[in-house]
């Protein structure tokens, strides 16, 4: 039902994911946390070769089609390639992901207590993949400014 997506579309994000804290490597902590409630994990980054050796083989590494539209381009890629109806999006540079917050956002979304909007993005986000078309139309509209 839920795909976990780590957006690492800036050089700083990659460095942070590969760094360590007292609990271990940051990328491992994100994956472990998200795996507890997500059916798949996706990492969106500009150069997957930088992290391919640092993640399990079941983690999907993808790049954004709209390269200069951060973070919308990365969100679009995640929505487009997710195998699940909902995605939990976190930025690599934010604090450790919270499953409680993600599940709360998912429940509110399913109960139609909230309506996702591409005009106000505040991570972490839980969005339905059906929002991909709205986001894609927005990106196409501004494509000449972002490429």
How confident is the model over 88-125, as pLDDT tens digits?
Answer: 999 988 878 889 989 988 998 888 877 776 666 777 78
Q: Is the pLDDT of residue 142 over 90?
A: no
Quote the mean pLDDT of the chain.
Answer: 87
- Please, is 87 exposed, middle or buried when counting C-beta atoms within 10 Å of its C-beta (0-12, 13-18, 19+)? buried
Q: What SS3 state is found at 91?
A: strand
Is the predicted pLDDT of residue 87 greater than 90, yes or no?
yes
Please state the pTM of the whole predicted model.
0.87
Instruction: Give the chain's domains with CATH numbers.
Output: 2-146 (3.90.550.10)
User: What angle is formed at CA 26 by the lines to CA 28 and CA 47, rounded to 5 degrees?
Assistant: 85
Higher pLDDT among residues 51 and 68, named by residue: 51
- Beta carbons of 14 and 55 less than 8 angstroms apart: no
At residue 70, φ and ψ (nearest 5 deg) are -65, 140
Using the predicted structure, report yes or no on whether residue 146 has a pLDDT greater than 60: no
């Amino acid at each position: 039902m839920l795909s976990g997506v780590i957006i690492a579309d800036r050089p700083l994000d990659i460095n942070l994911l590969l760094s360590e804290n007292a609990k271990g490597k940051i990328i491992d902590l994100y994956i472990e946390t998200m795996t507890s409630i997500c059916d798949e994990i996706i990492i969106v980054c500009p150069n997957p070769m930088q992290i391919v050796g640092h993640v399990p083989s079941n983690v999907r590494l993808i790049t954004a089609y709209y390269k200069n539209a951060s973070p919308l381009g990365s969100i679009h890629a995640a929505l487009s390639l997710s195998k699940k109806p909902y995605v939990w999006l976190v930025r690599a540079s934010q604090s450790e992901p919270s499953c409680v917050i993600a599940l709360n956002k998912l429940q509110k979304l399913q109960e139609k207590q909230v309506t996702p909007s591409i005009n106000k993005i505040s991570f972490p986000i839980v969005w339905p993949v059906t929002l991909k078309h709205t986001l894609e139309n927005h990106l196409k509209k501004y494509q000449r400014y972002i490429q």
